[in-house]
Chain A
Amino acid sequence: MDNNKAMLTCDEDENKRILREWMQNTDDLVMVSSAIDLGQSVTVCYLAGLIDGRQLDQMLLLYKEDKDRLPAFQVDAKVHTFEEVANGLASGMSVLLFDSDGYGITIDTLGVQLRSVDEPTSEATVKGARSGFTESLQNNIALVRYQFASPSLKVEYRIAGQLSKTKMAILSVGGITNPDILQEVHQRIDEIPADAILGSNYIEEWITDNRGTLFPLLESTERPDRVIGALLDGRIGIIVQGTPFVLLLPFVFLQAFQVSEDYAWSYYIGSLMRLIRLFSGMVGLLLPAFYVATVTFHHELVPTTLLQSIASAKEPVPFPAVVESFMMMIAFEIMREAGIRMPKQVGQAVSIVGALILGQAAVEAGIVSPIMVIVAALTGICTFTLPPTAINYVIRILQFVMTLLASLLGYVGIMVGIIMLLTYLASLRSFGVPYLGPAAPFNLSELTDVIVRRPHTKNNKRPSLFRVIHNTRFRSKS
């Protein structure tokens, strides 16, 4: 197949032979010759299993009745080369080869059994929409369009991956999304040299601003309402075929604490939930470090009665506090990982063993102190309050770093850690947007919809952070 421009010939057998070669002599390639009209025979080619047979029959019948109804076949282009035919077949099209005339037409007859729309498992809500994305690109776009029925919603298809030919859709809103950012996205996607894109994270890693960073510079979500909210803020969505996770960009750090459910409750409740998430993010990052620093360096800071309790609990424990906390944190990470991977049937066994051994028996055996169990448990639970962006995992990793710093230098170490972390975060950019915005650069009015939630009636401005074209959402009538 050196010559990519190999044209279809006018000989039926020759066409079949070459096409078969193009398709690596695969066994599921079906080629049936049939006479459609007097004197004209066509070869119907498709990959068995990938197409919907009933749809194909219907199409052929329609075609027999009236050849001029070609547009009804979703045929936008006649194909002339073997490469086009082969690519079409591979992506689930059926191809009609008009052998005598040396061209073919492709018919979209893709018919694969996919999961139906389901509640998103990673982002559950109590109140709010319950539909989540699936693996189907078309369906995912439809889910967005269904809730955001506006002609300004723009969908642009792109294909990435030389081998996998993964289809993706770039979603933006005309009149809101900044065209510069959109163009940057196009450019970065077009430049992806990868041979296969097997999920949205492949895209994320290729187009991110900083490939070495621990922090996610793109967000991914399973929820259509979150995507629509992001689009309305002037952000861009990328739906990748075959993954229910849609990428949203640009992404700033504080968005990791937002959940679409915040907007489903009254703003007091929404704000409170958001504050709790921020607080527990901080607790998750700092609590073990704080505990270790306090009990090894700053005993004076603890109230006497509490210190007495901690001391008598710590008395039989042979390890230094930092070792103890590392043991518990690692054990917790193992438990969590096991919880995700294990089959549901053994779930109970793992949780019993985990709770009994790590919780009770370890304390009774004097390996860890009960206070440490509380600290580890609280820290672990705190990180679960955050929506499942990668920030979650980042916080867990940084926990260890912070604890290590705390064990070396006490509170000074924690401060060193926090300062270094903030400096680093301030240096990050996501598609040109400062990662710490709107906290740094500081913008009070925008922070009111980031730290807490603004009432819908007061939410008349889009965040300027994403450099939207038109930043008024609505004008209040009064």
Chain B
Amino acid sequence: MGGLWGKRERLAMLLLLLLALVAPFLVYPVFLMKGLCFALFASAFNLLLGYSGLLSFGHAMFFGFAAYVTAHMGKVWGVNPEWAILGGVVTAAALGLLTGWLAIRRTGIYFAMVTLAFAQMMYFVAIQAPFTHGEDGIQGVPRGRLFGFIDLGESLTLYYFVLLVFVASLWFLNRVVQSPFGQVLKAIRDNEQRAISLGYAVNRFKLLAFVLSAAFSGLAGSMKCQVFQLASLADVHWHSSGEVVLMTLLGGIGSLMGPAVGAFLVVSIENYFAEAGAWVTIIQGGIFVFCVLLFRAGIIGTLSQWLKGLYSGVGKA
């Protein structure tokens, strides 16, 4: 990748963007938007897992709580969507700062468990706090008018808004990864001891990555709330934390588009197999097993290896 492919990469991105622009005329927009929200969530998660090597098992708290805050601000305080979303993101970032500050002292499985523990506590808060309305959640949140004059009630308008936020976020996350900061993160991931001996304040880098990841997860949650006009317990539950791990792994860790593709895949299984009734979870489970056994590099990783082989005439699967 990198500079060599610069031009063609940009061309491909442009093509993809064009497709995304016409997509709502081909595909049901609400599903696209849901896919985009989870794609953003998975990409934010990937910043932490793929580029910092930290597996969090508690990202649902950022995703879910941002949604609650956005819903509350939009519905009860009646503020414009941009402020409600900002409120969600700030909440997630603050929560990320607090939990991250404690969690980054641990690594590996212990890091995962500390984040899980915090997420479970936040789940408890979500059940107890009156403003979240228990399992009914906050529903009937108005989509509102962006900046006071853009009516997000229109599905198409909302779609382009979500797309814009997604593209901008992905661009930003990509810049972060490519920046010197991102290089240091990768160095820490690959060899923490060496990074320390090179004089990097390792914990500060990890914490910043954690907060960024939390903030963008929060953004994803807030956008989801904007799309579905509700915030519910399901988003704070540990299953959501697990789901984002699955999305990222299915798509491919540490690639730009991988998590997004994984997210779209999981969301479509959930929605399109919904009519298959009780078989959904069996199918879902089967796909995970299949992917772990055969597609470990993730879909994007495996396919690109395969294509590469095809191009160079080796044709190795």
Binding partners A and B: no
